[in-house]
């Protein structure tokens, strides 16, 4: 009989550190060599410590070591707490992989995120805006209007786990509530878990998705095998009592179907009241999770572009038209808005939304913007202004073509400060000046940095100055 080799116990040494600065993801930064217990051979080496704040002295356990740096987790606080330290609002903090900045005061979180954006712009592009705008802050603590929640049935324990992934792990944290999830959704989690536990096909459920519109809620069940009639009826009854929409998805996006009312449209809705536009979206469509910040963001984007009646605007990575439709309101019936998106389905959705809001001046095209698009008719048109809202990978390929659009003003909305900085450097080379920038608190308590920036063509600025003189 073969015997399994016993795993060697992992040694996690513990040291005392003085926290000097924040990393970009909100960890405390310290160096070896400041305390007597530090090994001499490590003096000067940088350590990144989770949950430690600037100005604090902490005991920390080393969790990962490389030649250049080490990572650690704070065990105990050995000094007075920083003024910026607050009690985490969530009982799952430190285990759940989300909301890793809960121990930092929200005001300091904003400062941290703005510093991250400043650092990236300076380091990667050698740029700083002429004006830093006030950050767009979230007004709600329970700001999330959608969430994907993992479900895992453990047969040996006859136990169902429903929750979010743990930090740097595929394990699920069993949650009873989520403080950043809209209270209506959070308050339903325990009841929803009880329901899933009662299903005979609970082992077939991979995850669930919750989404909210202004007046609707949807529950999507992602199942790996067919659910029996009894399970389906239980789920129907649950959503009927809640007044929710119910969806099943067995495979890809094409397998999505509505179960509570098979003849009803697969849509939820949200509005942007300032622009008198209403959007329809599918539970699987990308929408911003924070409705208040989204409304403020769209309003600011339109203000920065300073659009006039009759102007032409290009909206790249337009999605379902979240910016396109408000932009169409700004340029009026004599203006033109062209929206471009890689997904055929999202182009269809944006077109539907434009038609539903009687915005005939908005048109949409499907195109992978990482590929050459110069031969398309929409790309050969001139534009007064350009809005870009790319994914985390940024819009580097688009940047090479920007001069051909002839836009005087560009608003760049970003969810990744490093790719924004990279692309800003390209815009600067093409004669665009970074005029204004702001961070947005789209995801409070997380390390995600959302931002918005205005670029203006330098030649246009010079002409304006000449006129004013």
Task: State the catalytic residues.
Answer: 415
The torsion angles phi and psi of 331, rounded to 5 degrees, stand at -90, -10
Q: Which residues pair with 270 in a beta bridge?
A: 279
Altogether, the residues listed in the chain come to a count of 469
Binding residues for [4Fe-4S] cluster, as ranges, are 90, 96, 99, 178
What is the DSSP secondary structure assignment for residue 219, as one 8-state letter? E
User: DSSP secondary structure string, 301-347?
Assistant: HHHHHT--TT-EEEEES-TTTTTHHHHHHHH-TTSEEEEEES-HHHH
Residue 210 · residue 185 · CB < 8 Å: yes
Binding residues for S-adenosyl-L-methionine, as ranges, are 288, 317, 322, 341, 368, 389
Binding residues, as ranges, are 90, 96, 99, 178, 288, 317, 322, 341, 368, 389
Smallest CA-to-CA distance from 222 within 247, 242, 245, 197 is with 247
Residue 188 · residue 173 · CB < 8 Å: no
Exposed, middle or buried by CB within 10 Å (0-12, 13-18, 19+), for 270?
Answer: buried
Residue 110 half-sphere exposure toward CB, CA atoms < 13 A = 14
Q: Which residues pair with 272 in a beta bridge?
A: 277
Instruction: Give the number of other Cβ atoms within 10 Å of residue 146's Cβ.
Output: 22
Angle between helices 229-242 and 189-198 in degrees, nearest 10? 160
Smallest CA-to-CA distance from 113 within 422, 463, 415, 425 is with 415
Smallest CA-to-CA distance from 449 within 439, 458, 459 is with 439
Residue 172 · residue 163 · CB < 8 Å: yes
What kind and span of H or E run contains 348? helix 344-356
């Amino acid at each position: 009989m073969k015997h399994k080799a016993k795993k060697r116990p992992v040694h996690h040494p513990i040291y005392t550190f003085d926290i000097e600065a924040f990393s970009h993801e909100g960890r405390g930064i310290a160096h070896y060599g400041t305390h007597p217990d530090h090994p001499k051979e490590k003096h000067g080496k940088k350590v990144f410590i989770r949950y430690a704040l600037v100005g604090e002295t902490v005991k920390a356990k080393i969790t990962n070591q490389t030649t250049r740096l080490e990572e650690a987790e704070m065990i105990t606080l050995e000094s007075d707490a920083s003024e910026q330290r607050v009690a985490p609002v969530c009982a799952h903090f430190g285990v759940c992989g989300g909301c890793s900045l809960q121990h930092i005061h929200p005001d300091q979180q904003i400062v941290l995120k703005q510093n991250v954006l400043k650092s990236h712009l300076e380091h990667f592009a050698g740029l700083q805006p002429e004006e830093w705008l006030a950050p767009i802050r979230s007004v709600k603590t329970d700001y999330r209007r959608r969430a994907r929640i993992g479900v895992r049935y453990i047969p040996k324990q006859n136990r169902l786990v429903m929750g979010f992934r743990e930090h740097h792990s595929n394990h699920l944290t069993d949650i009873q509530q989520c403080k950043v999830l809209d209270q209506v959704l959070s308050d339903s989690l325990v009841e929803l878990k009880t329901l899933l536990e009662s299903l005979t096909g609970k082992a077939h459920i991979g995850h669930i998705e919750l989404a909210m519109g202004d007046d609707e809620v949807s529950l999507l069940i992602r199942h790996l095998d067919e659910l029996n009639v009894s399970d389906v009826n239980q789920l129907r009854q649950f959503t009927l009592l809640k007044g929710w929409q119910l969806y099943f998805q067995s495979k890809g996006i094409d397998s999505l179907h509505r179960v509570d009312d098979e003849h009803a449209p697969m849509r939820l809705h949200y509005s942007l009241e300032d622009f008198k536009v209403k959007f329809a979206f599918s539970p699987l469509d990308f929408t911003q999770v924070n409705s208040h910040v989204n409304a403020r963001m769209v309003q600011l984007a339109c203000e920065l572009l300073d659009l006039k009646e009759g102007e032409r605007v290009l909206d790249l990575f337009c999605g379902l038209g979240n910016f396109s439709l408000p932009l169409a309101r700004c340029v009026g019936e004599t203006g033109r808005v062209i929206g471009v998106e890689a997904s055929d389905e999202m182009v269809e959705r944006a077109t539907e939304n434009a038609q539903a809001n009687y915005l005939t001046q908005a048109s949409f095209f499907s195109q992978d913007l990482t590929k050459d698009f110069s031969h398309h008719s929409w790309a050969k048109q001139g534009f007064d202004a350009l809005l870009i809202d790319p994914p985390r990978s940024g819009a580097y390929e688009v940047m090479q073509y920007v001069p051909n659009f002839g836009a005087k003003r560009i608003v760049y909305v970003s969810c990744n400060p490093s790719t924004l900085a990279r692309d800003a450097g390209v815009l600067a080379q093409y004669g665009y000046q970074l005029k204004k920038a702001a961070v947005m608190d789209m995801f409070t308590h997380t390390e995600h940095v959302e931002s918005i920036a205005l670029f203006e063509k330098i030649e246009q600025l010079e002409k304006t100055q000449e006129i004013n003189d």
